[in-house]
Amino acid sequence: MKIIKYPSREQWADLIRRPQIDTTQLHATVSSILSEVKAHGDDAVRKYEEQFDHAQLHTLAITEAEMEEAERLVSDDLKAAIVLAHRNIAKFHEAQQFESHKIETCEGVECWQKSVAIEKVGLYIPGGTAPLFSTVLMLATPAKIAGCRQIVLCTPPNREGKVNPAILVAARVAGVSHVFKAGGVQAIGAMAYGTESIPRVYKIFGPGNQYVMAAKQLVSLHDTAIDMPAGPSEVCVVADASSDAEFVAADLLSQAEHGIDSQVFLITTSEEMLQKVTEQVDVQLAALPRKEIAQQSLNNSIFVLVRDEAEAMDLSNAYAPEHLIIATSDYERLAEKVVNAGSVFLGRWACESAGDYASGTNHTLPTHQYALAYNGVNLDSFNRKITFQHLSEAGIGSIGHAVACMAENEQLEAHAQAMRIRMSKLGLR
């Protein structure tokens, strides 16, 4: 990792810049696969499953027999953990239910909103080096609460054509409608366009590698909505002299092991803490099964020593992290200063792992500085707000002249006429 001490604010733009990759060839590859899936449906999906996942598939849909087999393969301990996490995620998202209110903006004019679930949603669940069954819960649970009629899940199979059993158990617990063996770009294309087996959906959710992210962004231009633009996972930890260096190092490494392009960012007001955390990272890294991945991630990572807490929070807000851990003694006061972050973890006991799995908050979050403008997935992500208005005769009297006047001055005569005709019927001028 890079260690930077007391950088000037002029240096911050370089510090917070994420690692960049050349996407020219990537987009060409992704576009080609998407075009083939759009044209050839299931045949193209099976072709790319054999090419990329080395699985020869006769059918794409998960059968009931496979679901039952998964139930037998998953330990009772893990099932209990999945059920506990699902309960907490459901409880948190149920509290986000929208309540509609009719508002009389002026006499005779009523306006209101109605929240309506997106009818068909698609969930992409990675299944490679880290099969993310927790993401099944994070996406399917609020989709079910929202009332989405069809919840479609795509996840890559292994070489034997099997899907990780914990993914299937989580899908059943959370209420997924259909599960399909499809990964990568071909899965995104299948959900965006529809194939003989995989239904077309109206919005696609879920994380993935750079190819999956590029595919999501490309299909969102013309074919289907997506949850958010996203890049590699990241965490920022704000620490002071009172922080636990062992905890801080563990939190940094828990993010670093996600992938070689992940990034961890430490901001501390204590030079002694900086040294302790650096030492702890080396100690804990050596014992990790995914240490090679974490080490490459650490090569993209930055540890920064700043002068005070105000500067620490300004730098954190400029970085706009996906995950922010405030591990200081006065975390409540600093929490008030958070402006840009996906999800925030307060105090020494709130490790990011809690939010990743079972605290109840959603772990599908904006990365790559998108937290400047986006929030993470929540119940509203699976709904649309439709606005309604009703005008009575009194309403025409209240706003008719203003509407006609504004339309005339925008030179939209037909707009003005639609209101003037109504005013004339009521004897209004």
Confirm whether residue 27 is marked as ligand binding: no
Confirm whether residue 410 is marked as ligand binding: yes
Confirm whether residue 417 is marked as ligand binding: no
CB contact burial 301-313 (16+ within 10 A = b; e otherwise): bbbbbbeebebbb
Confirm whether residue 88 is marked as ligand binding: no
> 353 by DSSP, 3-state: which?
helix
Confirm whether residue 93 is marked as ligand binding: no
DSSP labels for 26-65? HHHHHHHHHHHHHHHTHHHHHHHIIIII----S--BPPHH
Structure-derived torsion over alpha carbons of residues 232, 233, 238, 243, reported in degrees to the nearest 10: -140
Q: Where are the alpha helices (DSSP H) in 58-130?
A: 64-73, 76-94
Confirm whether residue 233 is marked as ligand binding: yes
Confirm whether residue 411 is marked as ligand binding: no
Structure-derived torsion over alpha carbons of residues 246, 80, 63, 186, reported in degrees to the nearest 10: -20
188: CB partners within 8 A, 6+ apart: 34, 124, 154, 204, 208, 212, 215, 216, 219
Structure token pair of residue 6: 């007391």
Catalytic (active site) residue 86: no
- Cα 39 to Cα 429: distance, rounded to the nearest angstrom: 58
Catalytic (active site) residue 336: no
Q: List, in sequence order, every residue forming a beta bridge with 387; answer none if it has no partner.
A: 113
- Cα 235 to Cα 145: distance, rounded to the nearest angstrom: 29
Residues listed for the chain? 429
- The active-site residue, picked from 86, 93, 323, 368, is 323
Q: List, in sequence order, every residue forming a beta bridge with 155; answer none if it has no partner.
A: 181
Confirm whether residue 124 is marked as ligand binding: yes
- Cα 239 to Cα 231: distance, rounded to the nearest angstrom: 25
Confirm whether residue 210 is marked as ligand binding: no
- The active-site residue, picked from 257, 309, 322, 352, is 322
Confirm whether residue 186 is marked as ligand binding: yes
Structure token pair of residue 264: 């961890």
- Cα 316 to Cα 371: distance, rounded to the nearest angstrom: 11
Q: At residue 316, what are phi and psi to the nearest 5 degrees? A: -60, -45
Reported as type and span, the H/E element at residue 135 is: helix 133-146
425: CB partners within 8 A, 6+ apart: none
- Cα 319 to Cα 236: distance, rounded to the nearest angstrom: 8
Catalytic annotation, residues: 322-323
Residues in binding site = 124, 186, 209, 233, 255, 258, 323, 356, 410, 415
Residues in binding site for substrate = 233, 255, 258, 323, 356, 410, 415
